[in-house]
Amino acid sequence: MKRVARGEPLPWGLLPLGALLLPFLVLVAQGIPRLGGALAAWDVALNSLLLALVGTLLVLALGLLLAALALWGGVGRGLEALLFLSFYIPPFVTGMGLLFTLQSFGVALYGAKGILLAWTLHYAPMAYALLRPALGPLWPLLRAARVHGVVGVRRLRVLLPPLLPSLLSAGGLVYLALLGNFGVPAVLGLPARVYVLPTLAYARLNSPLSPDPIGEAAALGLLLGLLALPALLLRPRPLLEAASEGPPSRKPLYALLFALYALLSLGLAAWGLLREALFNPYTGALEPAFAAALALPLVVKGLGNSAFLALATASLLALLALALRPFPQALARARQALDLHHTLPGTLLALGLTLLLAPTPLYATPWLLLLAYLLNFASPAFRALEAGLRVEAQVAAARVHGLPFWRAWLRVGYPLLLPQARGAFFLIFSLALSEITLSSLLYAPGAETVGVAVLGALNGGLYREAAAVGLILAALSGLALLALGRRGW
């Protein structure tokens, strides 16, 4: 048997990457025979498509504007962290906050308008992070255009052609995120009977009247996959690149506008949650609902399950990424194979795992959720280590001085990579703690997550308790972002 040289890529036999496609293959196999029945829900598919397309355009426009303001104003990491705080707050919590905020002004937010507003505010920081690095190198082009008399809106004709590849790539990623989003349409769409494919699949899967709930949900998942397929051709890259330098002359006014937007975006979500959770809606007296929320058995159980799943997912993925880091090609190939699980709507992964593992003892247990979390969040964890500090030269120097391969990595390489590993841990912990798309389709009685508990509280009319739990999740997300910032992310 051929031995693998140390430092070379691990053989494919040690990484069963082909098995990662099984959930999607099973979904296709089970969904195709029932696709005709799923096409009867063409109006929901069209609604999903139009909402995702319009939402993508709004998010890209706002993200590009924020990137321009940041570059013009010389915005640094402090203001960027303020902007990203609204992104690290779970999207369904953002939807709840907007709902409660606008209700306090007598504005009803249910339906398509509310979904689009929540999506735009939540995902604009992601578009900003993807577009700012591409926008920075184009400032010399804009200055040259100004010298030649091209000013105002006409400068877009100069700017957009070289920016188009980045816009398409970022747009593909945003479109996929919106197309598969479950939390916001569940909070703002279902009360107004506005369905999208993820919420319809959830309803079919949990319907006691359906003769074949899993099959019907699989067909809807396949339809969702067909809508997602064109965006995959744009090769969206989930990696949030480092911010680039802006123009040499920086104007504080633009930085102020950037800060005002970040505060407004955060305030729109936070004000409604605070008002609902802290004050009695009838008397206006200060009566915090945190104790009442934590007294709900489902909330306590959900918080415990989510904390366990988030800790286990973040720890296992950080350790696995560190174990693969000495083999860069193997790490890159594993990450490329897992990109699909993170990029495609989570509804597809959840339905595929349901079809694949329903006959096994793993089904309807917390371990199925853990498996889904590992598959869904492995890509960003691997990217964190893959794009981190390059330590091969230091490890090579240690080996020159006589240290064996693994000892060189343990004594030199891994200590240098610990900041990236800690950053990956906090990133995945924050994302997994408030995950709701996978959880809503895969949870079992007794294994509910906190996202499922919040939706249950909303459906039961416990708005104050739901707002209180939403604030707890937002605070935990803020702490994770603070930890990421301290590690230089």
3-state SS, 132-167, equals HHHHHHHHHHHHHHHHCCCCHHHHHHHHHHHHHHHH
Collapsing DSSP to helix, strand or coil, 286 comes out as: strand
Instruction: Give CA separation, 321 vs 79, 331, 382, 385, 424, in Å.
Output: 30, 7, 5, 6, 9
How far apart CA 60 and CA 233 sit, in angstroms, is: 18
CA distance 350 to 440: 9
- How crowded is residue 188: how many other Cβ atoms within 10 Å of its Cβ? 26
Q: Provide the token pair at 69.
A: 């303001």
pLDDT of residue 14: 44
CA 88 – CA 82 distance, rounded (Å) = 10
The pLDDT of residue 8 is 43
Taking the chain (489 residues) in runs of 10, the rounded mean pLDDT of each run is 42 55 86 82 92 96 92 84 85 91 88 95 92 78 64 66 84 92 92 91 82 84 89 63 51 90 92 91 87 90 91 94 88 85 88 88 88 93 77 82 84 85 87 88 84 88 91 83 59
CA distances from 305 to 73, 426, 453, 473 (A): 43, 17, 11, 14
Q: What angle do CA 268, 136, 128 make, to 5 degrees?
A: 25
Sorted by sequence, the CB contacts under 8 Å of residue 464 that are 6+ apart come out as 276, 277, 281, 289, 292, 293
pLDDT score for 2: 40
Q: Which two tokens stand for residue 94?
A: 């953002």
Domain ranges of the chain: 17-486
The size of the chain, in residues, is 489
Closest CA to 41 of 255, 226, 268, 271: 226
Candidates 331, 447, 317, 307; CA nearest to 392 is 331
Residues 182-233 have pLDDT tens digits of 999 999 998 889 999 999 988 888 777 777 788 888 888 889 999 998 887 7
- Spatial CA neighbour of 395 closest among 411, 419, 378, 375: 411
Q: Return the closest-CA partner of residue 177 out of 431, 485, 489, 472.
A: 431
φ, ψ (nearest 5 deg) of residue 279: -120, 140
